[in-house]
Amino acid sequence: MKLLQLSPGELRRQLAGPGVWMRTGPFSVRVQSGVPQVAEGLAQLYGQFEVRSPHEAFADFHVSVDPPRGLRRWVRPQVSFALDGVPPFKPLPLDQAFPMLEWGLNWCVSTRAHQYLIIHAGVVEKNGRAAILPAPPGSGKSTLTAALMLSGWRLLSDELTLIDRKSGLLHPLPRPISLKNQSIDIIRAFNAEAFVNRESRDTVKGTVAHLRPLRESVRRQHEPARPGWVIFPRWVAGAPATLQPRSRAQTFMFLAQNAFNYSHLGADGFRVGSALIDQATCYDFEYGALDDAIATFDRLAEGAL
**Is the torsion defined by CA of 52, 194, 137, 122 positive or negative?**
positive
**Is residue 211 over pLDDT 70?**
yes
In a 13 Å sphere around the CA of 259, the CA atoms on its Cβ side amount to 26
pLDDT digit string (tens) for 86-95?
999 999 999 9
Q: What is the pTM of this model?
A: 0.95
**H or E element at residue 149:** helix 141-149
Rounded (10°) CA dihedral 106, 112, 115, 121 = 30
3-state secondary structure of 133: strand
Q: Are 143 and 291 in contact (CB under 8 A)?
A: no
Would you kindly state where each structural domain of the chain is located, as residue ranges? 3-112, 116-301
Rounded (10°) CA dihedral 150, 154, 158, 161 = -160
Q: Tell me the Ramachandran region of residue 152: left when phi exceeds 0, alpha when psi lies from -120 to 50, beta otherwise.
A: left
**Is residue 264 over pLDDT 70?**
yes
pLDDT digit string (tens) for 1-55?
999 999 999 999 999 999 999 999 999 999 999 999 999 999 999 999 999 987 7
* Cβ neighbours for 136, distance < 8 A, ≥ 6 positions apart: none
Q: Are 228 and 131 in contact (CB under 8 A)?
A: yes
pLDDT digit string (tens) for 144-193?
999 999 999 999 999 999 999 999 999 999 999 999 999 999 999 999 99
DSSP one-letter code for 71: G
**Residue from 301, 284, 244 nearest 139 by CA:** 284
Q: How far apart are CA 291 and CA 151, in angstroms?
A: 9
- CA end-to-end span of the chain: 42
Which pLDDT score is estimated for 72? 57
Angle (CA) 15-17-23 rounded to 5° is 45
Rounded (10°) CA dihedral 10, 197, 179, 283 = 80
* Cβ neighbours for 9, distance < 8 A, ≥ 6 positions apart: none
292 phi and psi, to 5 degrees? -65, -40
pLDDT digit string (tens) for 54-66?
777 799 999 999 9
Pick from 7-21, 64-78, 264-278: least confident: 64-78
